[in-house]
Amino acid sequence: MSGAAPSAWSPRLWGAHLVGLLALAAAVGLGLWQLGAWQAERASAARDLTDQEPVALAELLGSDDPFPSTVVGHPAEVSGVWVPDATLFISGREHDGVEGYWVVTPVAVGGAGEPAIPVVRGWVAEPAQAPAPPRGPAEVTGWLQPAEGTGEVDTDRSDDVLPQLRVADVIQHVDQDLYSGYVVSEQPLDGLAPATLEQLPAVGADHGLRNLLYALQWWLFGAFAIYVWWRYVRDVTRPEEPAYADEDESVGLSA
């Protein structure tokens, strides 16, 4: 006769219980973390920081920092030197019902050769109508924004017109490091029409949705871990059929 099957609380199954609990705890914890990130994205999108007091750019964003969602729209004071040869035009910006361009000139924060942050100086209907870019010292106050990622592709890298204000595209026109965001000047510069935050491309309906999907994915993994643990414990603790039952069946077939 075979030995009796162990119970679910037998010491030989403690390891399986521990692995199952650890997998479940990890899945729940990671799911909650992703859920928190999703809620933070939604809260950030709903918060309006444009009426806050301006502070120095260094208090909001470092030159090597990823863009924090907690400072989107916060007024920032930028001091440095203009980089006029890197002036660019961002298409698809509407002003008073007319589609035109943002005029963007980077500012080397702190001095020439230092990391630069793109500054939206204003709006123009056609790039040819834009005034000459400024030179020398720069003092700008504007709204801090993260680099855009609308998915539009720059099909012509030989010109100075871009479909979006994306760091990976702007860096092709600048000979120095760039910040992970940009500044929209509160006051239009050099006689340009004003650039406003209303001219920003619309945020997709799936903004921050990836974090929520990751949370659901982790919780599904936790549910799968519970299922695997249950199947294993069930199989191990299932009573074994007596060996003589098989022998009786064999005798009956041969008779």
pLDDT along the chain (255 residues), means of 10: 65 78 86 74 56 91 90 93 96 92 96 94 96 95 86 73 90 92 93 87 56 81 86 76 54 50
pTM over 0.85: no
* Amino acid symbol at 77: E
| Whole-number pLDDT of residue 150 | 63
> 71-110: buried (b, 16+ CB within 10 Å) or exposed (e) per residue?
bbbbbbbbbbbbbeebbbbbeebebeeeebbbbbbbbbbb
The domains of the chain are located at: 14-35+209-254, 50-199
The owner of tokens 């990622």 is: 149
